[in-house]
Structure 1
């Protein structure tokens, strides 16, 4: 399997011990990509990689490392850490992520007695904060509305949802769209520049409300968009 006639990139998932990061690690490793799970706690990363590997059919490459080693050795870096660790993690891996595509999947969320809501972020959004902290990387926002439960479900052959992909470097967004497509059932849809990421990140609070009310794992579906459409302008 190749990515647009090029070798598959290696993926480093920072926060791969969590639900969403672990789900992405499972799906991409099963699709044939070399994946490394990165964590501050290398023992936790190793345990997560071993646990995820048991559910993968066939040969695969799924390893573990510390945060800096994971970012340094990956072609594409995924930020899947909790929001309260976002800024510190990005600052730590700035040099290791230089020149690379960095996929930020983080949703800034807060909770009170009325439920989930999107708090104010000084830079505008998590993705914009990432780009400000990683000026020499190509930050792409994606995977904000994907159910971690479905991603990690070994019995679910497909994850039928659209993924809104946002970024200022169009070649990088195209690469991420193709990475989305490697997960059966998913489509990567270009949805704008990073300055619009706050709306996409904030929508997650609404999906949490949907999931609680209807006891489901809702995703996003975009109508009237061609299957293979990539950003061209």
Structure 2
């Protein structure tokens, strides 16, 4: 069982998962949803309107045509998508994040946040300060959904490579959270992206470092015209 901050218990979901991608019409959500479905999971693409979610689902389904073992995909309004799932991926902009998360039926679910609070100015991307440096998007989601269990993952994966490359990505994915069992769900899902399990990188508060690190990768990408990623040495994958 997984204990939530509110003191309730969640039965850990087992693979293949049913995953709601909240913000599924954005490039990160679409790319991750495509990867999860390619890995055999059922994916519901959520959007502010069901029609937009359904349109992305049709695009992904066409991309998956002929892929052996692929899961099914569909589209729905955000709240309806979350209601259908046992795992919910938050892939939404930081602007409007709190209002949206608070409106979703997340109780009893494992929630994965890949939200990066970033700002942009003429000098480039930079990480925004959340709760005076004492918080992160993932921790905010956990506070707003105390009867769910939130983990942070997929922050630093390029939306471009998720969608444009058919093979597994050659990078490592870091997962943070306060529940080992909930992190295990995200760690298992990483295999749909890079062909190997994700790396347990510690407690949820470390999302404060993972989220703004994306700004560093954006800076590298702009400088060298590449799609950079993270690899951790010392692992025998």
Q: What TM-score do you get using the length of structure 2 for normalisation?
A: 0.89
SS of 1:63's equivalent in the other structure is strand
The answer as to whether partners of 2:172 and 2:194 remain within 8 angstroms in 1 is no
1 CA distance for matches of 2:96 and 2:73?
Answer: 24
How far the C-alpha of 1:226 sits from its partner, in A, is 4.2
The answer as to whether partners of 1:105 and 1:142 remain within 8 angstroms in 2 is yes
SS of 2:234's equivalent in the other structure is coil
Picking from 113, 128, 131, the partner of 1:104 is 113
1:114 aligns with 2:111: no
Gaps of at least 5 residues in structure 1 are: 228-233
Q: Could you report, residue by residue, the CA deviation over 1:119-160 in whole angstroms, capped at 9, with x for unpaired residues?
A: 11115110110111011111000001101111111x531211
Picking from 135, 140, 148, the partner of 1:124 is 135
Aligned ranges for residues 81-96 of structure 1 at < 5 Å? 81-93=92-104, 96=105
1:175 aligns with 2:185: yes
User: What does residue 201 of structure 1 align with?
Assistant: 211
User: What does residue 10 of structure 2 align with?
Assistant: none
2 CA distance for matches of 1:8 and 1:91?
Answer: 27
Gaps of at least 5 residues in structure 2 are: 1-12
User: RMSD across aligned C-alpha pairs, in angstroms?
Assistant: 1.7
Change (3 A) 1:186 1:112: farther
1 CA distance for matches of 2:183 and 2:140?
Answer: 18
User: What does residue 210 of structure 1 align with?
Assistant: 220
Aligned ranges for residues 1-233 of structure 1 at < 5 Å? 6-56=14-64, 57-58=66-67, 60-93=71-104, 96-122=105-131, 124-153=135-164, 155-227=165-237
2 CA distance for matches of 1:213 and 1:156?
Answer: 25
The answer as to whether partners of 1:161 and 1:187 remain within 8 angstroms in 2 is no
Q: Could you report, residue by residue, the CA deviation over 1:57-108 in whole angstroms, capped at 9, with x for unpaired residues?
A: 3353000111111111101000001110211111001xx2101100000000
2 CA distance for matches of 1:145 and 1:116?
Answer: 14
2 CA distance for matches of 1:166 and 1:71?
Answer: 21
The answer as to whether partners of 2:151 and 2:183 remain within 8 angstroms in 1 is yes
1 CA distance for matches of 2:130 and 2:15?
Answer: 37
How far the C-alpha of 1:23 sits from its partner, in A, is 0.4
How far the C-alpha of 1:186 sits from its partner, in A, is 4.8
The answer as to whether partners of 1:163 and 1:220 remain within 8 angstroms in 2 is yes
Runs of 4+ residues deviating >6 angstroms: none
Q: What TM-score do you get using the length of structure 1 for normalisation?
A: 0.90
SS of 1:88's equivalent in the other structure is helix
How far the C-alpha of 1:7 sits from its partner, in A, is 3.9
1 CA distance for matches of 2:24 and 2:175?
Answer: 20
2 CA distance for matches of 1:187 and 1:66?
Answer: 30
Q: Once structures 1 and 2 are overlaid, which stretch shifts more, 197-206 or 155-164?
A: 155-164
The answer as to whether partners of 1:159 and 1:186 remain within 8 angstroms in 2 is no
